A and B are shown apart, each in its own frame.
Chain A
């Protein structure tokens, strides 16, 4: 399981190069919405489609970073990270639903359409407060964080690791998916939430709002990266890698590994929730399909392809695989799932350290 290797000096130079590359990449992303403003005939014009799809990928990259923190560093292979992403998305969705106000099809002043349709007389208690943006943002972080705290505490304390933990997290997201499909949960059943109107006073269907969400996501990605960097370069990060490679040895050194893993897992879930919250207003819909186990597994593949245990790798993987997906699902839609499967097998067999490992190999 150990991911170790290259002498640290060459490693540091490479790391610097990768980080410079990432900086340039972020700058390029940053000017995309500006290029979108150019006239359509201009050679540097970037289409609305490309801007909106890139906005989604940025959110995926945050999810990949969060998964990498849990898996690549702490060795917690979560196959349910999509659940944290979806919960963050639902929290944001609830806020967006409340902001629709009387503009719904049924024109009810408070209740969202689906509640009127299902015969609700008043808002369920857990919908209270979501009309406030700060409260909704707090929930975006707290709800996934609390779930991770509970699931993590129970499983880490009982020393459930490896495959068993992966199956457990997979079951967690599957159970949530089934629950969210039920109409009487009060989250819109299988239709979920959609038809959002505005956020922070900006109409969502304008290009200004799209650009705003794009930049918010980009800032969130940079901040998440810096947080993860700060964490993984500290002694705490080294404790995590030590736990990943030899957990029981870390215990004999006097570290309570449960609390260390829990800290990483909860933080990771919060980042995933943030990614989901930024994703939902950009795609305009959230439904229980986001909890689908396949989504969580795809996220694992992004990280594996990019190179787990390296932050740049997680970001690179998210963009590469999703870029490939967007291209292939329009060029040859039937092929995508086979390609995704083949990609995972190929990376596992030939590129255990992912694309980053490949780059490192070339440099040395």
Chain B
């Protein structure tokens, strides 16, 4: 029965001191699907990401990745299962270079001894170089991540996500602070990635969501308000009331 679902959230609730950040949320993401998630501030978008990646434990409900129950695992374990996350505020390691950031993210054994013995081989170098080319940071390879511009940081973090080679990518506001052409480039990249992997994108920018052109889920007050194509949700009366209409 798990055929045709990559990520399965069923009746997930998260309660912080009486506040229901997620309220009986259910969501299914299929393999290779690109899903956009939108919703007003406080709708629970980031909390949903936190639950999937193990940062927050749900108060109730099921969270399955394939057949694996994610609610019992920690962040590192979940990441190693093949779930990568890009944060709303780009987060990377400022004291390391662009190349080193990507190298740390590269899928490889993660233990202390393995890291100690790690040698950068040709294959790994090629992958890192390809990714740098893809995110347009080849020229900046030896620069510290701390001196990159905001847009470049967004790109670097997307690059790190690609290096992890995850089956499911959770991408939180990838185009915040990007120029129009960068935004287009990002949309194209995400569409290209989906197909081989599942991608969940949280965005405020409706034009961007339209550019992605796939299934959209609208969250409100911690649960799903509407789901379907961008035209469908934009014409949904309830969505217009709580979100688009304002």
Which residues of A are at the interface with B, using a C-beta cutoff of 8 A?
A: 2-5, 7-9, 230-231, 234-236, 238-239, 241-242, 245-246, 248-257, 259-260, 263-264
Sample 8 A-B pairs with CB under 8 A, ordered by A number.
Answer: A4-B95, A8-B142, A236-B112, A238-B104, A241-B95, A249-B91, A252-B75, A252-B84
Q: Which residue of A lies closest to B108 (CB)?
A: A235
Q: Known: A3-B95, A4-B95. Contact between A235 and B75, CB under 8 A? A: no
Minimal beta-carbon separation of B86 from chain A (angstroms): 9
Minimal beta-carbon separation of B8 from chain A (angstroms): 21
Judge if B79 is at the interface, Cβ distance under 8 Å. Answer: yes
Cα A241 to Cα B97 with chains together (Å): 12
A-contact bits for B62-88, CB 8 A (1 contact / 0 none): 000000000000111101100011010
Q: Is the CB of B97 within 8 A of A8?
A: yes
Please pick, from A4, A235, A248, A250, the residue contacting B146 in the complex, using a CB distance under 8 A: A4
Cα A242 to Cα B101 with chains together (Å): 9
Q: Which residue of A lies closest to B142 (CB)?
A: A8
Please pick, from A2, A245, A256, the residue contacting B76 in the complex, using a CB distance under 8 A: A256
Please pick, from A4, A230, A253, the residue contacting B164 in the complex, using a CB distance under 8 A: A253
Q: Is the CB of A234 within 8 A of B118?
A: yes
- Measured between beta carbons, the chain B residues less than 8 angstroms from A239 are 104, 112, 115
- Measured between beta carbons, the chain A residues less than 8 angstroms from B105 are 253
The residues in B between 190 and 241 inclusive whose CB is less than 8 angstroms from any CB of A are none
Q: Which residue of A lies closest to B116 (CB)?
A: A236
Judge if B13 is at the interface, Cβ distance under 8 Å. Answer: no
Q: Is the CB of A238 within 8 A of B100?
A: yes
Minimal beta-carbon separation of B65 from chain A (angstroms): 14
A-contact bits for B88-108, CB 8 A (1 contact / 0 none): 000111111100100111000
Please pick, from B85, B96, B111, B116, the residue contacting A231 in the complex, using a CB distance under 8 A: B116
Q: Known: A234-B118, A256-B76. Contact between A249 and B97, CB under 8 A? A: no
Q: Is the CB of B144 within 8 A of A251?
A: no
Please pick, from B84, B85, B103, B144, the residue contacting A235 in the complex, using a CB distance under 8 A: B103
Q: How large is the interface on B (under 10, 10 to 19, 20 to 34, 35 or more residues)?
A: 35 or more
Which residue, of B85, B93, B111, B143, has the highest number of chain A Cβ atoms within 10 A? B93
- Measured between beta carbons, the chain A residues less than 8 angstroms from B55 are 248
Judge if B53 is at the interface, Cβ distance under 8 Å. Answer: yes
Q: Which residue of B lies closest to A11 (CB)?
A: B144
Please name the 8 residue pairs, one residue from A and one from B, whose CB atoms are nearest each other, closest first: A254-B79, A4-B95, A236-B115, A251-B75, A263-B112, A235-B118, A236-B116, A254-B80
Q: Known: A235-B115, A239-B104. Contact between A245 and B110, CB under 8 A? A: no
Cα A235 to Cα B104 with chains together (Å): 7
- Measured between beta carbons, the chain A residues less than 8 angstroms from B95 are 2-5, 241, 245
Minimal beta-carbon separation of A157 from chain B (angstroms): 10
Q: Is the CB of B110 within 8 A of A238?
A: no
Q: Is the CB of B79 within 8 A of A251?
A: yes
15 A-B pairs besides A5-B146, A253-B105, A257-B76 with CB distance below 8 A are A2-B95, A4-B144, A4-B146, A5-B95, A234-B116, A234-B117, A235-B118, A238-B96, A241-B93, A242-B104, A249-B91, A251-B75, A252-B53, A252-B85, A256-B76
Which residue, of B91, B92, B111, B115, has the highest number of chain A Cβ atoms within 10 A? B115
Cα A253 to Cα B164 with chains together (Å): 7
Q: Is the CB of B118 within 8 A of A249?
A: no
Please pick, from A2, A236, A251, A253, the residue contacting B160 in the complex, using a CB distance under 8 A: A253
